[in-house]
Structure 1
């Protein structure tokens, strides 16, 4: 996320937000995963557009919006960022594929980007880094200090499953239908520092855990924490990193809206001294797995009630908790409309699988993702 205009002192919780998205690069004729050497080099040099950045592989690009205060700005920035990324990809004659996994291409065809950061990642994590053939969506929400970020992080854990379920876009991996809506979640969880941390308590608690992880060698610093939610290492934000990359623009805007509202609600609860919900890590992992398995196509597991619930019930419960905040922000009607559209058409993963089952043609799946991801660009 670009930092121009970002206030770092005294900022109200949730006043600002920004979105980062990662995309695969594909050949327009074969739709195979294809290195974008010119695009990657330009991104490394800061010459691919102000919103475009390199990723660990030359078959990927990342975009980052500017700092936004309204959902209209989020939408406008995402359109501009996706357009800049598409123009960067065009340097190599390639297209963007906005799904967390490619329908058939393998990590074997993903050269590591020749940047110092990415080479260091391979040196630290070896095969885990080389096999990182997944893309995600990250939402930054402004907070005034690290204590607030940690308070939100501690309270956000039970909401990870439903937010994940609503963004699923990775049913395939290495050419196989995995049976999951978010295979990215399972693939990502192989890292020893992925998932949701136990409650940290406060800023000092966070610093102690981070110091231990640095001492272990698993991370170099806070920018390498692969938690589902983390304090940003470089911005005054709390960063939600749990989501698959959203194929459609509307789903990306919806995810950002829900995350920001949740941050405001949870920070308010912390300010009132309401306790952190008690959720066993085993139960939370089960709920996260259930969301990755079923998305919105099957039951979700409520980690607080410890029971299966229908997806629409889980989404409705989330909206009920956020309704007052969304109404105060003037966002409730827009968010509810986007939720109804998502529930009506299903997740990207569900649509991809439906195309595959109907056609038996993975190329048709890739064509659909490319087409949906490009919709709305100027």
Structure 2
């Protein structure tokens, strides 16, 4: 979303001054409900490489196994994938009997990595459709209780619906019954007491070829969003992804943090809250992500990662996001298949947070890349869309709002929207 704009019940991290919509607690129905435990070493980007080898199995081997598992997401019956780095286990949840391709995953993993298969009552597709019905039905429903998000229960047998408002027992019970009828699957209500808020607010002076993680700003240089991954559309067009809520129309001029022309918006897809920018310059995109703090320079060890490929996110997996205003933050994916209202649409994606409850995103980071670093390369996971649960920011490029939960749109879904591939 744009700077100083307010979007009711949307989770968008674009502009810097935000308005309420949703603030969400920890990831109910995926790992554990409530505040995460502290583990500062693993969460601090500066210590990320050390933490990546905290188990006897190299974390990159576990991430590769998870990537092979999430690659089956389009196969009927797929429910989800969860990672446990401590036990080097990748759990694949599947509706009904899993096909041979799932059993074959165990033969492709490194020594020490285990693949477990768990049978579920519902698939990810079942719950995706159910959560869309539920959110669509409630967006304009008059009620004292506001439906904020819906996500798969841990056992994929139904939905956990996060609701804000006065926790009136009878009212919540009636709402749960109504939502269950609309969704067509079992629903468990969870009351929460903060909101997911939209944000949109630099690497301030990038130039062609453009990197993911750079600043998008107004003519006077006021940051409001972040550049995302480079892609190549099915028509062969080289484009930069960012959040659709950052600009209002096709044809909008986009500038970098120095106020110089970055490109023009050519495509918009509000259903995945994404838009494409046609970048200026003979070599439009660098095929790389800017990491490290917001003010990192070329001598920082995490300043630049080449983009390797795209993979779907998995619960429990380590993920980093890079925003122009707050810099790079690394966290743990707490939920996949989560649904929320983004403007007039229902968006689906994932949610991540740090174990110590620290900042993972801030206003102005919308549109930025979300990725897992494997062998020094960034594997695209998603696009920053929003945040919740306000926290004090610390050092940022400009004054903004910060949050301890980050919401992302899967990059696979954005690519599918335009029959595209990750670019270079």
Give the TM interval when normalised to the shorter protein: under 0.3
**Which has the larger helix fraction?**
1
**Which has the larger strand fraction?**
2
Q: TM-score, normalised by structure 2?
A: 0.23
